[in-house]
């Protein structure tokens, strides 16, 4: 691989590490909200959050393995993930509506991170990473739509 190819793979892996951190963090937050949501909409939100965190969980290993396929080390641990993500911890005592608003903002963040990673992957000619991120983009846009529809 040429020197520029190595540089491009490194940049793609760095961007993909942000996707992994965002995904892991939103997974944890969604799971926490699933445990802690209360109120008249409890059952519906409890199930919605479960559906979403399960879907996100299934993607995390694939993202990490793609980072490894790019000959980079996948980040691990709370500190590493915290340094890479811009998603903040949630409030377990938030109202159901505030939980939804928080997750909507977080899914928008993940969407932006994914779009940046697709651009980096396409610029590097990395079709596999671009495809993975496009698939994840579709999933997070659907999660965002479901949350926004619930908020209306």
Say yes or no to pLDDT of 3 above 50: no
- Among 141, 4, 144, 124, which Cα is nearest to 66's? 124
CATH number, domain with residue 64: 1.20.1260.10
- The Cα–Cα gap between 14 and 8 comes to 10
For the entire predicted model, the pTM comes to 0.93
Per-residue pLDDT at 1: 42
Confidence of residue 6 (pLDDT cuts 50, 70, 90): low
pLDDT digits (tens, 9 = 90+) for 76-107: 999 999 999 999 999 999 999 999 999 999 99
**Where are the alpha helices (H) located in 70-126, listed in sequence order?**
78-84, 96-123
Q: For residue 110, what are the domain limits?
A: 3-151
Give the number of domains in the chain: 1
Say yes or no to pLDDT of 32 above 70: yes
- Alpha-carbon distance values, 136 to 14, 46, 55, 143 (Å): 17, 22, 10, 11
pLDDT digits (tens, 9 = 90+) for 95-141: 999 999 999 999 999 999 999 999 999 999 999 999 999 999 999 99
Contact 29, 102 (CB under 8 A): yes
């Amino acid at each position: 691989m040429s020197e520029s190819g190595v540089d491009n793979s490194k940049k793609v892996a760095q961007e993909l590490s942000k996707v992994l951190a965002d995904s892991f963090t939103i997974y944890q937050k969604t799971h926490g909200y699933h445990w802690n949501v209360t109120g008249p909409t409890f059952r519906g939100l409890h199930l919605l959050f479960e559906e979403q965190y399960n879907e996100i969980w299934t993607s995390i290993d694939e993202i990490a393995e793609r980072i490894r396929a790019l000959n980079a080390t996948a980040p691990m641990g709370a500190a590493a993930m915290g340094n890479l993500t811009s998603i903040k911890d949630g409030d377990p005592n938030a109202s159901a509506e505030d939980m939804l608003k928080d997750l909507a903002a977080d899914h928008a963040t993940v969407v932006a991170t994914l779009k940046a990673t697709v651009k980096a992957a396409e610029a590097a000619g990395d079709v596999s990473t671009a495809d993975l991120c496009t698939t994840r983009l579709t999933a997070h846009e659907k999660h965002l739509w479901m949350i926004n529809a619930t908020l209306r």
